[in-house]
């Protein structure tokens, strides 16, 4: 009986760690993706500004 309770507690703890790790990984992926999108947008804007300068110049 005592060992069964320990096993159940370990399984619950393992599942909690797995869920927490999964959510942390998903948050990291989202942050990385948003950072990359921001960098690509800034690069696009810089290219558009350079094209405007060339047309004016």
Strand, coil or helix: what is 8? Answer: helix
Instruction: Label residue 2 by pLDDT band (50, 70, 90).
Output: confident
What is the b/e burial string over 15-29, where b = at least 16 CB atoms within 10 angstroms of the residue's CB?
Answer: eeeeeeeeeeeeeee
Task: Give pLDDT, residue 11.
Answer: 98
User: What pTM did the predictor assign?
Assistant: 0.60
Q: Which tens digits make up the pLDDT trace of 10-54?
A: 999 999 999 999 999 999 999 999 999 999 999 999 999 999 999
């Amino acid at each position: 009986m005592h060992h069964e309770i320990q096993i159940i507690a370990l399984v619950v703890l393992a599942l909690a760690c797995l869920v927490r790790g999964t959510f942390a990984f998903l948050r990291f992926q989202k942050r990385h993706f948003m950072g990359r999108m921001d960098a690509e947008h800034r690069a696009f804007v810089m290219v558009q500004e350079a094209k405007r300068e060339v047309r004016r110049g």
